[in-house]
Chains A and B, each alone.
Chain A
Amino acid sequence: DGGITQSPKYLFRKEGQNVTLSCEQNLNHDAMYWYRQDPGQGLRLIYYSQIVNDFQKGDIAEGYSVSREKKESFPLTVTSAQKNPTAFYLCASSIREFGELFFGEGSRLTVL
């Protein structure tokens, strides 16, 4: 079935370590997104990519990095520069011309 797969679902990290969250889609969508969600908050955009080999910063890009080497994949690296990395991370994709976002099930990162 087509969809978006995020992994891992749960991740624990020590302070000072970088961690990479995976996001893969087989929907043939051009656009992909990473959002962060904190308890009781809405979704805040970290990075998005409209096409392969191109991506733009969202509202809270500091301390994060991404790459878009393949259409299907948009990994997010949470670096040690991110001061408060503990959060729920959501990946999404959309067809370029339409706005409906398809979301993955999320990855919950906890920094110990």
Chain B
Amino acid sequence: DAKTTQPPSMDCAEGRAANLPCNHSTISGNEYVYWYRQIHSQGPQYIIHGLKNNETNEMASLIITEDRKSSTLILPHATLRDTAVYYCIVRVEGYSGAGSYQLTFGKGTKLSVIP
């Protein structure tokens, strides 16, 4: 799987939009971008994923650049409960040979929502 680069930490005021960037310049054409978050000492939680079109669900929006080399996760109205470490990973969908399920998480971005 392609590697990703994220800033180690970010702050966001409560009620404002949180925009978390991710660079994945070596992403291949069949790799999806996934976002997870982890609240302290809990298991990570899936947020959203996409291939090339922008995606939105009840939690967040995902904006993927046209060249697919970077993406931004948007939390439209951040709350204190959104304070967590956010992970961006890229992976292929489905089985594409041995090792295709090996998912690599980096260190993520620690988002602190400030009252």
Contact = CB atoms under 8 A, between A and B. Distances in A.
Interface in B94-111: 94-95, 98-99, 101-108
B: contact size bracket: 20 to 34
A108 B42 CA distance: 11
B85 to A, nearest CB: 8
A33 B43 contact: no
A17 interface: no
Q: Interface of chain A, helix or strand or loop or mixed?
A: strand
A42 B94 contact: no
Question: Which 8 interchain pairs have the tightest Cβ spacing?
Answer: A103-B43, A43-B105, A42-B107, A42-B105, A97-B94, A100-B46, A42-B106, A103-B44
Interface string A69-112: 00000000000000000001010101011111111111010000
Interface residues of A, number: 31
B91 A99 contact: yes
Contacts of B102: 45, 48, 56, 58-59
Given A42-B108, A48-B103, 8 more contacts: A33-B101, A42-B105, A42-B107, A45-B103, A88-B41, A99-B32, A100-B46, A100-B49
Contacts of B49: 99-100
